[in-house]
């Protein structure tokens, strides 16, 4: 334990003195502040609505005019054209009239399981008719009064906060991996790694000690992120469990970075390449439709992102966290075995 504490203290001093350490401490806060400014209220949205305005499924022009101030409108001539718009990249919803049911149908590009999220179109249209019936009553979309029963369970969390918060959490894992990797590279440049070979500190203690500061950083920024993004109603214990689960992936990222790079410049270059691979998996998980999600199941970071999004939308149970965490650790273990020789050679 004494050796672990000593490695942690040495690592902490190095990070606080090093310009990259200070940079990695400040940048996450700047990103959070930027994210906070982009979080829209429930009365505003940047969603694109593909609305059928011709043929038997046409939506009345009155409704189109009601929606126009709140969203970017794309008028299409058929349901097929609407579905084509939904297949594209971006936040798109569809709207058409079902004559058999005599009602408007709003189609989400990607909905959360359990139907806990209502489309922008359904919120605004419901508010429109509610106002016609109740005059100048409190708007439904503010959730302060008059919320109808069928909308009472919907999420009030902005997608910018839930998805952005999940991406930020993965970003913090990358930052923490960078800290571990740069610490190892710095020890290689200064010859500290050779001194450790003849010291009482074992390699296991050395790597665990290197992981303490990044873990603390993730946990501190987890609370800061929840406060800044307005997500304090989530299960904080679940957030911290995922922070601990992600430590294995963080350590693998850091060890690979430290093994492949011989100096700081190389470490930054290698780290950028590894980060691109990670972010490709996250982009795949964000943009790919549900039936193509399997294409990124190979990435431990995808499962961490998926779990965090579930936590931030209050849409995940402990049993799901348990088996997805097992998958995450299992995949990390597989990559560790596959990269074992390269890591051992780079760290020897």
| Tens of pLDDT, residues 272-282 | 888 888 888 88
Structure tokens at 188: 């290689």
Task: Print the domain residue range for 342.
Answer: 2-39+158-347
Averaged over 181-190, what is the pLDDT? 79
pLDDT tens, residue by residue, 25-65? 787 888 888 777 766 544 445 578 888 999 888 898 888 88
Averaged over 206-234, what is the pLDDT? 82
85 and 229 part of one domain: no
CA–CA separation, 313 and 242 (whole Å):
15
Average model confidence (pLDDT) across the chain:
77
Let me know if 80 is exposed, middle or buried by CB neighbors in 10 A (0-12, 13-18, 19+).
exposed
31 and 133 part of one domain: no
198 and 280 part of one domain: yes
| Domain closes at, from 122, 151, 180 | 151
| Domain closes at, from 101, 129, 151 | 151
212 and 297 part of one domain: yes
125 and 147 part of one domain: yes
- DSSP for residue 317: -
Averaged over 84-105, what is the pLDDT? 78
132 and 264 part of one domain: no
Averaged over 308-323, what is the pLDDT? 88
What is the total count of domains within the chain? 2
pLDDT exceeds cutoff 90 at 318: yes
| Domain closes at, from 151, 178, 204 | 151
105 and 69 part of one domain: yes
pLDDT exceeds cutoff 50 at 268: yes
Give the CA distances from residue 122 to residues 48, 63, 139, 142, 267, in Å, rounded to whole numbers and listed in that order.
13, 11, 14, 14, 49
Averaged over 244-261, what is the pLDDT? 87
- Alpha-helical (H) ranges within 39-117 are 61-67, 79-86
Averaged over 145-152, what is the pLDDT? 49
183 and 277 part of one domain: yes
147 and 198 part of one domain: no
pLDDT exceeds cutoff 60 at 153: no
pLDDT exceeds cutoff 60 at 115: no
Comparing 68-77, 114-123, 166-175, the range with the smallest average pLDDT is 114-123
pLDDT exceeds cutoff 90 at 171: no
74 and 17 part of one domain: no
């Amino acid at each position: 334990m004494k050796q672990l504490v000593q490695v942690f203290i040495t690592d902490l001093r190095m990070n606080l003195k090093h310009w990259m350490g200070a940079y990695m401490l400040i940048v996450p806060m700047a990103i959070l502040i930027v994210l906070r400014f982009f979080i829209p209220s429930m009365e505003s949205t940047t969603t694109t609505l593909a609305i059928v305005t011709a043929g038997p499924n046409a939506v009345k022009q009155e409704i189109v005019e009601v929606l126009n101030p709140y969203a970017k409108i794309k008028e299409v001539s058929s349901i097929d054209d609407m579905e084509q718009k939904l297949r594209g990249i971006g936040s798109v919803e569809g709207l058409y009239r079902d004559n058999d049911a005599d009602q408007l149908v709003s189609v989400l590009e990607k909905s959360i399981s359990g139907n806990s999220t209502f489309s922008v179109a359904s919120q605004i249209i419901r508010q429109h008719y509610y106002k016609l019936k109740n005059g100048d009553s409190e708007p439904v979309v503010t959730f302060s009064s008059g919320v109808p029963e069928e909308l009472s369970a919907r999420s009030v969390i902005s997608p910018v906060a839930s998805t952005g918060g999940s991406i930020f959490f993965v970003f913090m894992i990358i930052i923490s991996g960078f800290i571990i990797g740069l610490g190892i590279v710095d020890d290689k440049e200064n010859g500290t790694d050779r001194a450790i070979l003849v010291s009482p500190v074992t390699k296991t203690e050395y790597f665990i000690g290197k992981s303490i500061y990044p873990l603390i950083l993730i946990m501190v920024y987890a609370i800061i992120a929840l406060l800044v993004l307005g997500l304090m109603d989530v299960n904080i214990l679940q957030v911290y469990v995922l922070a601990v689960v992600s430590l294995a992936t963080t350590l693998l990222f850091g060890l690979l970075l430290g093994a492949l790079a011989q100096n700081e410049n190389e470490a930054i270059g290698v780290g950028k390449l590894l980060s691109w691979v990670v972010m490709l998996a996250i982009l795949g998980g964000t943009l790919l439709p549900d039936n193509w999600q399997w294409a990124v199941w190979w990435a431990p970071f995808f499962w961490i992102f998926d779990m965090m999004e579930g936590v931030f939308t209050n849409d995940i149970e402990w049993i799901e966290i348990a088996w997805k965490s097992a998958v995450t650790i299992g995949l990390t273990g597989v990559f560790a075995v596959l990269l074992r020789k390269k890591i051992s050679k780079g760290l020897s």
